[in-house]
Structure 1
Amino acid sequence: MTAPELAEALQFALDAAEAVRGTTSPNPPVGATILDADGRIAGVGSTAPLGGPHAEVRALAAAGERARGGTAVVTLEPCNHTGRTGPCAHALIDAGIATVHYAIADPNPVAGGGADTLRAAGITVHEGLGADAVAHGPLRAWLHRQRTGRPHVTWKYAAGLDGRSAAADGTSQWISGSDARSRVHDERSRLDAIVVGTGTVLADDPWLTARLPDGDLAPHQPLRVVVGFSDIPTDARVLDDSAPTLVLRTHDIDEVLAALTDHPDVLIEGGPRLAGAFLAAGRVDRVQAYIAPIVLGAGSAAVQDAGVATIAEALRFRRERIETVGADVLMTLVPERD
């Protein structure tokens, strides 16, 4: 199998995994590509929602008899256990696959071990193809939960050049431009949950839905989570039937995350106090900061009460990526502790 053929197969698997991110929890969003014996793409598959077939099984079904003697490229080590579905390692063996490339070993002790089963059946197995792209892409949140036992939390906010996320009168629509807002909706459509505080609901009455460019609701909607003790109106938009909603009467960040155990990819979109609480608790795993080319001059900052009293206590982050989104700059950062 040539390097270009494997690279193309990997990209198909990555795209398939990304397309189902947010819909497979608590299972990982995995992508798989089957190449026939001549190196041509024969089938592509991704993890179905809970209870449905895994990526390898769907890719094999698409490939049919062309899978025999071929190669499988998978973003995660094929599973080796029987749960709601059978083991993918055995499905690959039964289909006559000759070679398997997978990006990352399965860290779950129950599901892991598929590579050894494949080798024992005489299949050539290679680990590591596209590992970095997978770990920082569709499997990021799932792998984080496997390592830490808690969801992966991204804090997303928009601010002007002076770091303010609202004007002096409290208005904040719109700080970022239309391109940034479209990107946020696309990201929401791949999330497990969005978290805001009751203060944000009372002040802005957000809908917290993922919407398509034409304004229609996206096929997948994340769980909307409202945190805090203040009562919110019964007609608040976040309580409508457009998406599921969970109201948590707590200020304890770990209680919030414990309630979201089966929702590994979580976005914080609340106001500055909620962001500060997550930061102070050390529970922000990534920051997505949309910086708009405007100056507000007064108004609320993007974060409050993050537990920092002196410069020595500053929470420090390192750059993962910087890109332009329309007129705005998007900085993606991770804590230096990582």
Structure 2
Amino acid sequence: MKILITGGTGLIGRELIKLIMTHHLVVLTRNIYQARQKLAHISNSNLNFIRSLDELSTLDDFDAVINLAGEPIADKLWTKQQKKRICDSRWSITQQLVSLIQASSNPPRVFISGSAVGYYGDHQASRFDERVEVHSERFSHYVCANWEKIALNAKSDNTRVILLRTGVVLSMDGGAMKKMLLPYQLGLGGPIGNGKQLLPWIHMVDMARAIVYLLECEYAHGAFNITAPNPVSNKEFSKTLAHTLGRPHLLFTPKWLIKLLMGESSELLLDSLGAKPRRLIDAGFQFHFSRIEPALSNLLHHHH
């Protein structure tokens, strides 16, 4: 297959590329030199880079497009400018890809586009799957809903569209896990807020495997929750993390402090999102890590 990838040097992109590097990959990146360094483990014959989608007038050459680009949502305070950056970095590239797909006479058979469980907004203590009705005023819902709407415009009899409603991806190479570990390593770890909010986690290995599965599963289309089948409460997560690290689990971080430090983006830590991967399981996908304990112990003890 010839596959166009955006966000290929990001956390998920790098892991995904390890699994599909026998295919012919074209990676969109602003900095080709840096991208080469990050993907140095892949044979050059299978890997090309482009700096801009303007270099393409159609996607007739491609069998698949995987769109993972986007400004990290949790890295900075949500100022007006940062919110705009978060939206633009997702929406405009997705719109460009959709326009290229629409301009193709022989378009890619599949368009896989990023989204996130933030689409659902806060769901208190309930667990839910893709069938749930969503009415949310949250910024994360606003970002994801419009992002998905744009991506779905690529859908036709020739192209199936898959939306990846990604949970909290656990990886030792970055993302949420890196941020969470520090307080625990200092012996200061503990739950956030009342700790009851559900955390829709997924092990990085399953994250990448799920994308490959949906890429190859000819009849899969629409929105999929890319989360492990057993979401856990924030309290249970932090207890397991402390236990796995052999560290105390003492302090809790009060809700007001998180809100003070993070402002509106505190919804990323305080909202409860017990998303279940019903459609992924129905499509036949099998998780390597469906429970939090083995997932954390794998990440913390097998990391080199």
TM-score, reference length from structure 2 = 0.32
Higher helix fraction (1 or 2): 2
TM-score, reference length from structure 1 = 0.30
Q: Rg larger in 1 or in 2?
A: 1
Task: Work out which structure has the larger RCO, using CA pairs closer than 8 Å and 6 or more positions apart in sequence.
Answer: 2
Higher strand fraction (1 or 2): 1
